[in-house]
Structure 1
């Protein structure tokens, strides 16, 4: 089978297309024939050495993908050969990710892909949607699961609504009944956020964001999904409702931030740090179940009409796909691994 690998840290030129023998699934594992693979910022950051030394001598990148179950190991229940699936955290604790034709994964890292959903949708879930789900389900006064109506009467502020996680947060929050406000840096990104389902879009380069958000939510927002805390935390503290939650999942814009103790503790707000790789099994399974339900219900989609433009690359151009993500491509970058 074809696989993309790297054996040393570096830029995208360290990626190499090779032939490898397919592994057999063990107890509690399934083998998936990958049709589409998603590329996320963590993929190039791991490859570039930004997450430390390589955990394995040879690594196949890719956390996310979609395809068809090709084989099952002993003690597997709930999935069978021929089932359509999507994957999450494929390359977290093992060397083989989704940038290959066949990948063996624990059953816990695989979820059924609804019949009406495309493989593009399936490969776009994983990191973005599970991160968004976690951010939306950690509020003191909010739900720990998502479903239609679960976020009714709540106002969610999504920072960076044109990004992949921001897009997923908008779509899932809207599906769950929230009023969604998002901040963007320009009109084109604003149109993407509206396509995703945001009720209100605030261009922070044209207006005072805090004033605009307070005009839309005079009592404050219940939850912030934050991508750039170093830049936005003062804004978040200024618009958060008492007992609200600021869920931080990335460090775009800088690694350091300063908090005013009095200004911050007077909000009674909760700061929730979201790192997908250590959220725990229960949170991952809850996310997989709720996201799959949202997809089946038409609550999550991809493409321009859903505010998430798609950029396709063949497997042999994985280096170009990594470079596109690293340079800030707007939308979702996918690898075409096999024909659907």
Structure 2
């Protein structure tokens, strides 16, 4: 079978195509014929590593997310899973088997049934962005631990960077849960994408005063902030967060140090919650998988231009170009087409 691997850290050109033997799944595992592999910032950051040229052994197949069909099941796995369409998440976390290959072996719990109404494109776009977004939306004091219709009714959510993949996922999940959704963007084009995702109010932070605009919409403050750039936005966040609200930080803002406004945060009893998918509590991730699955069935989550998330397709042999596109900040979702 064909697979993309890297045996040292570095630029996208460390990724190369190889032929590998087809292996059987072990106990508790399934083998998935991959149709689409999703690329996220976490994938290129892992590939780049802390220092270029560091050996990687065994060679790593990149990419955490994907979608395909269960091709074989290992001992202890229900035979009924064979032949099911699934979406994959955390495929490569502390494992050498990511989704940029024709057949991926993953723990059975990391292959979630994908309804027939959902495309493989959607399936490969779910894992990192949607599970992360779910966690960000469910850490607020007195807020719901689960999402679904009505769960966020009467609550206001502010999504920083609504044109990004996690921002798009947060908007879609929050609207599905009936929140009022405000988002910030950096251009009119990105404003159109955020509106397509379902945001009720879109603020261009380059031309508008974010605090003033948010206060017009939510005079009592916003209950939950989904934050992509905490170092840049900390003062804004504490100015608009509601009492007992939360600021869920899921990105490191380019490595910039974060200076927390302590007194202002204390005055509202604000919660600063840092979010990393891989080390999030297992029960929270299990709930997220269930809720995202329900949102798919409801038709509440989508991908593509009409959903504010343009798709960019690359063939498997051009996975390096796919990584370069994500690393370069392309707007939308990058997918690797592993099979037709």
TM normalised by structure 2 equals 0.97
In 2, Cα distance between equivalents of 1:194 and 1:276: 26
Query: How do 1:38-117 residues align onto structure 2 when only pairs under 5 Å count?
Result: 38-50=38-50, 56-77=57-78, 79-117=80-118
Residue 78 (structure 1) shift: 8.0
Partner residue in 2 for 1:329: 330
Q: Secondary structure at the match of 1:23?
A: coil
Of stretches 65-74 and 20-29 in structure 1, the one that deviates more from structure 2 is 20-29
Contact conserved, 1:231 with 1:253, CA < 8 A, in 2? Answer: no
Contact conserved, 1:45 with 1:51, CA < 8 A, in 2? Answer: no
Residue 259 (structure 1) shift: 2.1
Q: Secondary structure at the match of 1:167?
A: helix
Contact conserved, 2:157 with 2:179, CA < 8 A, in 1? Answer: yes
In 1, Cα distance between equivalents of 2:80 and 2:93: 22
In 2, Cα distance between equivalents of 1:276 and 1:259: 23
For the pair 1:176 / 2:177, whether they are aligned, the reply is: yes
Partner residue in 1 for 2:269: 268
Contact conserved, 1:231 with 1:254, CA < 8 A, in 2? Answer: no
Closer, same or farther: CA 241–83 of 1 in aligned 2, 3 Å = same
Superposed CA offset, 1:225-258 (max 9, x none): 0000000011000000000010000022542021
Matched residue count:
339
Residue 296 (structure 1) shift: 1.1
In 2, Cα distance between equivalents of 1:282 and 1:90: 18
Partner residue in 2 for 1:141: 142
Superposed CA offset, 1:202-245 (max 9, x none): 01111110000011100000000000000001100000000001
Superposed CA offset, 1:259-300 (max 9, x none): 232222111111110011101322222111110110111110
Give the root-mean-square deviation of aligned CA atoms. 1.3
Write out the 4+ residue segments of structure 1 that deviate beyond 3 Å after TM superposition: 50-56
Superposed CA offset, 1:132-187 (max 9, x none): 01101111111111111111111000000000000000000000111100000010
Residue 29 (structure 1) shift: 0.9
Residue 54 (structure 1) shift: 6.1
Partner residue in 1 for 2:213: 212
Partner residue in 2 for 1:8: 8
Residue 50 (structure 1) shift: 3.5
Q: Which runs of 5+ in 2 are unaligned?
A: none
Residue 77 (structure 1) shift: 3.1
TM normalised by structure 1 equals 0.97
Partner residue in 2 for 1:22: 22
Q: Secondary structure at the match of 1:237?
A: helix
Contact conserved, 2:10 with 2:51, CA < 8 A, in 1? Answer: no
